Amino acid sequence: MGTLSGGMSSAVAAALVLSGSACSTGLPPAPTVTGLLPGLVELDAGTTALLQAVSPVNDRVVWISGHAGTWARSEDGGATWTSGVVRGADTLQFRDLYALDARRAWLLSAGTGDVSRIYYTEDGGETWTEQFRNGNSRAFYDCLAFWDERNGLALSDGADGRFPLLATRDGKTWTLLPEPARPAARPGEGAFAASGTCLVTVGDSHAWFGTGAAAEGRARVIRTNDRGRSWLAIETPIPSGPAAGIATVAFRDRHHGVALGGDLARPDSFTDNVAVTEDGGSSWTVGARPPFPGAIYGAAYEPETDRPALVAVGPRGAAVSWDDAQSWSLIDTRAYWSVGIARGGRAWLVGPSGRIHRFDIPPGPR
């Protein structure tokens, strides 16, 4: 949905670290003032566009994308960048992307009708091939995710009572899943095209996506264990509403994951906007509130490690957790839309006005 594309105030007054479990009602626990974590490095890719997606390949190769048809790629950890605008797509908002390496990547533009498109490059962005253009005037594609270089999914808001989902089995062609494989959508229910992280894959067959904006009920996480052939929807503790729900999901394995979001209408409030699962999404409990107010737009786990860090970002800040969202430490109070983390703990945070920060996550408490 388009509600997470605009700007919000980017600062909160204090640098805080919040520890402990969140309360399900009432005010949040009083935070402890300890200062920001060190280590943010500001980078410049030569763009002032709002950046909404990031896809690290490793600690040196990373791709980003955003509004005005913008993409950028670095192969040296962010010291230098190659950037550009997709030809004929300078009005599109590339709110998601997925990179395989320094040459191959997909971009997804979000929007209603034929504004939703998927592009692919295999020459490092020198040329782009349009692989999909949405022909359903009621669909609005929000995000995509891949299991490998051939198999992936792309997700739309609910349309005609179901969630349209595209699948690719060759990395080139995209086909709408048959109606029985499209999960039922509640009235008004959709996904938030905030950070390219509303849909996530793990392993070779599991995927989850988060929902919001339904007028009734709680925000849901909808999962598949068979590459989208069947789906199961589970309610979370996160409230849903016209501007509320889950904006991002992250899983460190098939069992442990988080769903995060909040209410855009309450940018200065601390709310129960984090849910945690230990059973693959069959059940969810409330996690700790991060130490910045307002909604969370993006989140990611550090991959391929026994004790992964989890980073969450939003218009009011960024924070890291080393214990599956049971406690948080504040990274920054500036606005971010998305985050990606490479193996080894190098994180990339992106946001408005071309903002790119690199953050080498320090070791967590043992």
In angstroms, rounded to a whole number, what is the distance separating the alpha carbons of residues 310 and 362? Answer: 12
Higher per-residue pLDDT: 365 or 205? 205
Find the largest Cα–Cα distance for the chain. 53
In angstroms, rounded to a whole number, what is the distance separating the alpha carbons of residues 331 and 69? Answer: 29
**Contact 344/289 with Cβ under 8 angstroms?**
no
Per-residue confidence band for 366, with pLDDT thresholds at 50, 70 and 90: low
In angstroms, rounded to a whole number, what is the distance separating the alpha carbons of residues 315 and 351? Answer: 8
- Residue 198 has a pLDDT of 98
The per-residue b/e assignment along 59-88, b for 16 or more CB within 10 angstroms, e otherwise, is bebbbbbbbbbbbbbbbebbeebbbbbbee
Neighbours of 21 (CB within 10 A): 14
What pTM was computed for the model?
0.91
On the question of pLDDT at 121 being above 90, the answer is yes
The length of the chain is: 366
Q: Output the CA angle 171-172-173, nearest 5 degrees.
A: 110
Look at residues 100, 151, 142 and name the one whose alpha carbon lies nearest to residue 121. 100
Within 8 A by CB and 6+ apart from 273, the residues are 238, 260, 261, 262, 263, 289, 290, 295, 296
DSSP letter for 31, please: P
In angstroms, rounded to a whole number, what is the distance separating the alpha carbons of residues 187 and 184? Answer: 10
On the question of pLDDT at 45 being above 90, the answer is yes
- Residue 35 has a pLDDT of 63
Number of separate helices (H) and strands (E) present in the chain: 0, 31
In the predicted model, what is the mean pLDDT of the chain?
A: 91
Helix (H) or strand (E) holding 357: strand 356-360
**Contact 229/201 with Cβ under 8 angstroms?**
no
- Residue 363 has a pLDDT of 87
List, for residues 294-353, the tens digit of each pLDDT value: 999 999 999 988 889 999 999 999 999 999 999 999 999 999 999 999 999 999 999 999
List, for residues 2-30, the tens digit of each pLDDT value: 544 433 222 222 222 233 333 333 444 43
